Chain A
Amino acid sequence: MFKAFLIDKNEPLQSRLFKSSLIACSIAATLLFIHDLTSDFFFVDAIAELTGVCISLSIFFLAKKETRVKSLTVVFVFAVLVLLDISWLGNKGLGIGHSLYFLALLVISIIIVDGKSTTIFLIIFSINMIGILVTEYVNPEFYYIGVHNRMEPVTTKSVFLVISYTIIAWAVLFLKQQYNEAFELNRKKNEEIDSQKKQIELQNQTLELKVEQRTSHIEKQNEQLLEYAFLNSHKVRAPLSNILAILEIIQHSQLNSEELVNLHKMLVVESERLDSEIRTVQDSIHHILSIDSRFNDSNNVD
């Protein structure tokens, strides 16, 4: 069930990260607690530090605008758990070094949420350092970890922790800037693609319009050609059928010379008529074709 809860792919990545970092917080706090009770067991300490780094990274990834609340929640929960640890052990001697987790995480989150707050970071860092040094000066024994056998000056540890978390914070900030740049680049590219897509759609529409125009033009031309074909076949066939009728009469009947002369005259007239009709057909076709070439020229210009 626990596995399914973390790996469930239907849930958004940020939500899964948030839940696992909350679990990591409790693990880290427990480890710190054990560490404090068992007088510096190095292995436990190392795992606790590693868990802390993991939580820091989660906070970094959650520090985006939409999930800022989740990021701060993780910071808050971790801080409360660490402080609980401190206050519990406070009866036997205070493990104040762990409070630096809280401070360092606060610094990280502030840097992340407001990327350029170097001033705030420096103020908190200074207060932390001054606080430790002043208290050590006032009551040095207070800073020796009570339940531990090993006596370690807290100042050295504090300085080490603060420096290491500062490095982590700046590394996180650097990563975040890189991430933002990549994100911005991606966004710009997407915008470019969108605008190109719109342009292509527009071109397609224009193209469709052109195709429609040409189709309607060709349809019109077809109609015209059909009309011409019909009219002209009729007109051409009229003199031709007369010529055929003349030949039919000459072939199948006895004719006197006057009739022959008349038919001969008519044959000449009808032949000339046939010729003129054919010329008219040629002119018409030529006319339609010249309209067509003008149409194509005007389209090529734009």
Chain B
Amino acid sequence: MIKIAAIDDDPNFLFLMELMVKKSGLKAEIQLFNDPEVALSTIEAFEPNYVFLDLFMPRISGWDFLRKMEALSIHPEVYFLSSSVDKNDKEKAKQFKQVKDFISKPLTFSHLKKIIIPLN
């Protein structure tokens, strides 16, 4: 089973993300994190294949989260999901090896299916 972690401070987004994954027909388990601090302490045990990360969050930003996650023993593919896309942020994201793409919300089914490759 593919494991997906979604980290965002907007609970409505998380609800929609979960629904989308469920309706996409992908065989995937998704875990939602409304608080990035909680996510940092439990994500290592969850061992996700994919991480969808918001950029602007209170207390811990997407960048901070990424740096702290690098110290952990997991190596998921990371996708930034943000409401607005700044070109500087896109450039900055390229510096992180784990970041695969920088996506402007909303996420569509077709985009989701392109990202998630089912395990054989």
B61: chain A residues at CB < 8 Å are none
B86: chain A residues at CB < 8 Å are 230
Report the number of A-B residue pairs with Cβ-Cβ less than 8 Å: 60
B104: chain A residues at CB < 8 Å are 241
B16: chain A residues at CB < 8 Å are 242, 245-246, 249, 266
> Contact string, A232-253, partner B, CB cutoff 8 A, digits 1/0?
0111011011101110110011
Contact call A248/B106, Cβ cutoff below 8 A: yes
Q: Counting CB contacts under 8 A, is B65 at the interface?
A: no
Stretch in B7-15, B45-53, B67-75, B90-98 with 4+ CB within 8 Å of A: B7-15
Contact call A248/B108, Cβ cutoff below 8 A: yes
B83: chain A residues at CB < 8 Å are 233-235, 237-238, 240-241
For the complex, what is the distance from the CA of A245 to the CA of B26, rounded to whole Å? Answer: 18
Contact call A252/B109, Cβ cutoff below 8 A: yes
Instruction: Assess A241 versus B12: contact at CB under 8 Å? Given A233-B84, A234-B56, A259-B19.
Output: no
Contact call B84/A245, Cβ cutoff below 8 A: no
Q: Counting CB contacts under 8 A, is A45 at the interface?
A: no
Q: Counting CB contacts under 8 A, is A289 at the interface?
A: no
Q: Counting CB contacts under 8 A, is A270 at the interface?
A: yes
Please name the residue on chain B nearest to A262 by beta carbon: B15
Q: Counting CB contacts under 8 A, is A130 at the interface?
A: no
Which positions 1-29 of chain B face chain A at CB distance < 8 Å?
10, 12-13, 15-17, 19-20, 23-24
For the complex, what is the distance from the CA of A253 to the CA of B83, rounded to whole Å? Answer: 23
The answer, among B12, B20, B24, B84, for a CB contact under 8 Å with A230, is B84
Which positions 73-115 of chain B face chain A at CB distance < 8 Å?
82-84, 86, 104-109
> Contact string, B26-59, partner A, CB cutoff 8 A, digits 1/0?
0000000000000000000000000000001000
For the complex, what is the distance from the CA of A252 to the CA of B108, rounded to whole Å? Answer: 10
Contact call A266/B109, Cβ cutoff below 8 A: no
* CB of B97, distance to nearest CB on chain A (Å): 26
For the complex, what is the distance from the CA of A233 to the CA of B83, rounded to whole Å? Answer: 8
For the complex, what is the distance from the CA of A177 to the CA of B87, rounded to whole Å? Answer: 82
Q: Counting CB contacts under 8 A, is A84 at the interface?
A: no
* CB of A27, distance to nearest CB on chain B (Å): 93
* CB of A98, distance to nearest CB on chain B (Å): 102
Contact call A249/B10, Cβ cutoff below 8 A: no
Instruction: Assess A266 versus B23: contact at CB under 8 Å? Given A234-B83, A234-B84, A241-B83.
Output: no
Contact call B23/A253, Cβ cutoff below 8 A: yes
Please name the residue on chain B nearest to A273 by beta carbon: B12
Q: Counting CB contacts under 8 A, is A225 at the interface?
A: no
Which positions 69-103 of chain A face chain B at CB distance < 8 Å?
none
A266: chain B residues at CB < 8 Å are 12, 15-16
The answer, among B10, B23, B82, B84, for a CB contact under 8 Å with A242, is B10
* CB of B32, distance to nearest CB on chain A (Å): 14
Indicate the member of B10, B13, B82, B83 with the most A CB atoms within 10 Å. Answer: B83
A245: chain B residues at CB < 8 Å are 13, 16-17, 20, 105-107
Please name the residue on chain A nearest to B55 by beta carbon: A234
A242: chain B residues at CB < 8 Å are 10, 12-13, 16, 105-106
* CB of B88, distance to nearest CB on chain A (Å): 11
Please name the residue on chain B nearest to A246 by beta carbon: B16
Instruction: Assess A241 versus B106: contact at CB under 8 Å? Given A234-B83, A249-B20, A253-B23.
Output: yes
Indicate the member of A230, A237, A241, A269 with the most B CB atoms within 10 Å. Answer: A241
For the complex, what is the distance from the CA of A266 to the CA of B15, rounded to whole Å? Answer: 10
Question: Nearest 6 pairs between A and B by C-beta?
Answer: A241-B105, A253-B23, A237-B83, A245-B106, A244-B106, A241-B106
Ordered by A's residue number, 7 sampled pairs between the chains whose C-beta atoms are within 8 Å are A241-B105, A242-B16, A245-B106, A246-B16, A248-B20, A263-B19, A270-B12
Given contacts A249-B23, A252-B109, 12 further A-B contacts (CB under 8 A): A233-B83, A234-B83, A234-B84, A237-B105, A241-B13, A242-B16, A245-B16, A245-B17, A245-B105, A249-B16, A263-B19, A270-B12
